[in-house]
Amino acid sequence: MSIEQTHIVPEAILGVSPMIAACAVLFIVYFFIITEKIHQTVIALLGAVAMIYLGIVNQHLAIQGIDFNTVFLLIGMMVLVGIMQRSGFFQYVAIISAKTVRANPRALLVVLSLITAVFSALLDNVTTVMLIVPITLLLTEQLKLNPYPFLFSQIFFSNVGGMATLIGDPPNILIGSAVGFGFMDFVYNVGPPAVFVGIFLFLFFDIVWGRKMQTSMRARAHLLRYDAASALTDKPLLYKSLFVLALVLAGFTIGHAHGFEPGTVALSGGALLMLLDTFSVSKEEQGKRIHKAFGEVEWDTIFFFIGLFIIVTGVEHSGLLAIVAHWIVDVTQGDLVMTGMTIMWVSTIASAFINNIPFVATLIPVINSMATDFGGKEMLEPLWWSLSIGACLGGNGSIVGASANVMVASYAARAGQSISFLKFMALAFPLMIVTVLIATIYAYFFYF
Amino acid sequence: MPCRNAMITDVISCKPDDTVEHVMSIMEENRIRHVPVIDENNVLLGMFGYSHLLNELLPVSVKMEDGLQRLNFVIGASPGVAKRLRKVYKNPVKNHLFKDVCVVSPDTPTWEATRLIVKYGSPLPVLEENTGKFVGLISEQSLFSELLEVLDEVEKEEASEQSGAE
């Protein structure tokens, strides 16, 4: 099937082929996202409307191109977590864990990393680190420990934990939504390599840092006096939040088989928790709380996604991505394993330096276009997992590789513990390569 | 009515190299809570006060933007805080200045100074507009005493108007 048959290519725009115009818009948007000269949301929206003004897509097609499943999933989870964090639950878990390991620094490095991984798998990575980093800084200050190993480890575990589930990391949300994978598809396919990588990282961080950490008995005794229960500021809200979170996770797990997409589940979870939180309070208080709950939604992120979806729809519509797809298949000589490995490693390197969200959003239609080359959409499954692994683990390669990394670095700077780009990368990049190698071995034996 | 009428010019100030311990003893003696820190050219370097010092004693995870909202789970922290204070006691005050200070000029209307004091707290340093030199402080008390004087005058005027009308 030729490209012309699969895509309706619009007329030439001012004498320029739509493919070149779309390519130019994509290039300019990427340029500004990478150089950060213009805020990513602004440039994504400008790129999106440029696609419409240039006639590459009309508004109707542009709106059709927005993946509202992803948008609803993000909004629903942001509302849910925004309300839940008011209960003090995250500090509570961190303090309980620190006390469980008797404030032993070596064990503390492990438990805080584990908490980061688990929360990142169930919640958004940036939110997770925003909750875990301040309490980590308090605990390390109390124990007179250098916070750097803890922050480094949390960056890695937020990306590894995020890789394990559909909702853990934006690339997975995009892939799951575009392809129709369910929550458990991710758990079964990218969960195991995430666990293997996690085990390796636990051992590595213990050898490099954990076993050498020392603190005084007096400092440990102080930390053991912390009253974790006092960190829980609103117990009824905590119970409501945990109840709704459990329902949402159950909804993700079983909803897929019944045709309910994650966007619906997350949005209903957000709405239910808002209902429980505002039930039987005055009208004014209801208004205040709902306003606050929606204030927790990162609208700039939401509109970044919306802009990207429209840009990618425009580029896809121009026929450019299909050409890229056929080119990749040609280069890899139509070999599925070669194509999968290429996708994994290219996305790894790309994600280490540029935002993995636009990268994955662009690559999804490229992979989709390979269906005819490999004999049907169902044959593409290994390629999706390869993309997920590359995009999520690649984020560990540099301090700008993922939004969570940037957030940790920003907190570290505020605490007077700046993480330098090169110092981080000197260890993180090779370590990231090893983690992708582990995932590559897993992929070779289990995906293809 | 401009700030120059309401400001205190006889101000107890300190030098940047004075130790925290010394400045705190001056504050204690004079029963004041804030001291302007001024260099040899009479330029304001910042303010030093109990509230800023207490803020410095807090853990960095609380002080930073979007940091921890509560510390109610930390039991028995006083010895730790006291040790922190011991560390800063011998430091010069220039290391513990509050530099992001809201300032007014002698010509700022007192109405505006009142708004700023309500918003940012008392006292506000008064700086000469062109030279930036420190000329005094405007505080809650100095504003009130100036307003009371004005009130006194207003009442006298009203009384004389009434007696004139009769």
**Full 3-state SS string of A23-37:** HHHHHHHHHHHHHCC
- With CA atoms as reference, the chain A residue closest to B60 would be A415
What is the per-residue pLDDT across A156-214, written as a single tens digit (0 to 9) for each? 999 999 999 999 999 999 999 999 999 999 999 999 999 999 999 999 999 999 999 99
d(CA A154, CA A175): 24
Which range (A8-12, A228-232, B93-97, B152-156) has the least confidence? A8-12
| Residue B165 touches chain A, beta carbons under 8 Å | no
Q: Where in the sequence is the domain holding B109, given as residue range(s)?
A: 3-165
Q: Is the pLDDT of residue A263 over 80?
A: yes
**Residues of A in Cβ contact (< 8 Å) with B72:** 227, 230-231
The mean per-residue pLDDT over the stretch A52-72 comes to 92
**Would the CB atoms of A135 and B74 count as touching at under 8 Å?**
no
**Where is average pLDDT lowest: A117-121, A351-355, A387-391, B132-136?**
A351-355
Q: Taking CB atoms and an 8 Å cutoff, what residues of chain B touch A219?
A: none
Buried/exposed A181-208: b ≥16 CB within 10 Å, e otherwise: bbbbbbbebbbebbebbbebbbebbbee
pLDDT digits (tens, 9 = 90+) for B48-67: 999 989 988 898 899 888 88
Question: How does the average pLDDT of chain B come out, rounded?
Answer: 91
Q: Nearest CB to B59: which of A141, A225, A226?
A: A141
Cβ contact, residue pair A95, B72, below 8 Å: no
Rounded to whole angstroms, what are the CA distances from A364 to A310, A347, A414, A440, B37?
Answer: 14, 12, 37, 20, 61
Residue A300 DSSP label = H
Question: 3-class DSSP state for residue A102?
Answer: coil
Residue A132 to residues A159, A228, A420, A424, Cα–Cα distance (Å): 14, 15, 21, 19
Residue A2 has pLDDT above 50, yes or no: no
In three-state secondary structure terms, A130 is helix
Could you say which residues from 45 to 64 on chain A have a Cβ atom under 8 Å away from some Cβ of chain B? none
B-contacting residues of A 164-203, CB under 8 Å?
none
What is the structure's pLDDT at A10? Answer: 52
Interface probe for A, chosen from B57, B58, B60, B87 (most Cβ of A below 10 Å), is: B60
Report the b/e string of B66-80 with b at 16+ CB within 10 A.
Answer: ebbeeeebbeeeeee
| DSSP letter (8 states) at residue B14 | B
Q: Which of B74, B81, B83, B84 to mutate to test the interface with A (most CBs of A within 10 A)?
A: B74
How far away is chain B from the Cα of A135, in angstroms, using its nearest Cα?
A: 7
Residue carrying structure tokens 């109390």: A142
CATH number at residue B91: 3.10.580.10
Distance from CA of B80 to the nearest CA of A (A): 9
Task: Answer whether residue A16 shows pLDDT above 90.
Answer: no
| DSSP helix/strand/coil, A165 | coil
Q: Residues B34-48: pLDDT tens digits?
A: 999 999 999 999 999
- How high is the pLDDT of residue A1? 37
Mean per-residue pLDDT of chain A: 91
Chain B residues in contact with A220 by the CB 8 A cut-off are: none
pTM score, whole prediction? 0.85
| pLDDT tens for each residue of A330-347 | 888 889 999 999 999 999
Q: Which of B67, B76, B80 sits opposite A134 (nearest CB)?
A: B67
Which residues 413-432 of chain A have a CB within 8 Å of chain B?
414-416
The total domain count for chain B is: 1
pLDDT for B56 equals 87
Three-class DSSP category at B91 = coil
Is the CB of residue A362 less than 8 Å from the CB of residue A132? no
Indicate yes or no: CB of B60 within 8 angstroms of CB of A137.
Answer: yes
Give the mean model confidence (pLDDT) for residues A227-232: 92
| Residues of chain B contacting residue A134, judged by C-beta atoms under 8 Å apart | 61-62, 64, 66-68
B residues 29-88 closer than 8 Å to A (CB): 59-62, 64-68, 70, 72-77, 80
Locate the chain A residue with the closest alpha carbon to B71: A231
Binary contact (A134, B76; C-beta < 8 A): no
Tell me the per-residue pLDDT of A277-313, one tens digit each, with 9 for 90 and over.
Answer: 999 899 999 999 999 999 989 899 899 999 999 999 9
How far apart, in Å, are the Cα atoms of A165 and each of A124, A186, A191, A261, A271? 11, 5, 7, 15, 22
Identify which of A448, A383, A385 has the alpha carbon closest to the alpha carbon of residue A192: A385
Q: Residue A86: closest CA among chain B residues belongs to which residue?
A: B69
Contact B60 A135 (CB under 8 A): no
Confidence of residue A358 (pLDDT cuts 50, 70, 90): confident
Subunit contact A230:B72, Cβ cutoff 8 A: yes
Which of A230, A292, A417 to probe by mutation at the B interface, max B CB count within 10 Å? A230
- Mean pLDDT of all residues in A80-100: 92
Q: Are strands B124-127 and B134-138 parallel, antiparallel or unpaired?
A: antiparallel
> Which residue of B67, B72, B76 is in closest CB contact with A225?
B76
pLDDT at A92 over 70: yes
Q: Find chain A residues with C-beta within 8 A of B73's C-beta.
A: 91, 95, 226-231
B79 against A110, higher pLDDT: A110
Cβ distance B72 to A137 less than 8 Å, yes or no, reads no
Cis before B109? omega within 30: no
Contact of A307 with A52, CB cutoff 8 Å: no
Whether A134 and B65 lie within 8 Å, measured CB to CB: no
Enter the tokens of residue B48: 């030093």
Share of chain A above pLDDT 70, in %: 97
Q: Which residues pair with B37 in a beta bridge?
A: B14, B46
Point out the residue among B60, B73, B77 whose CB comes nearest to the CB of A231: B73
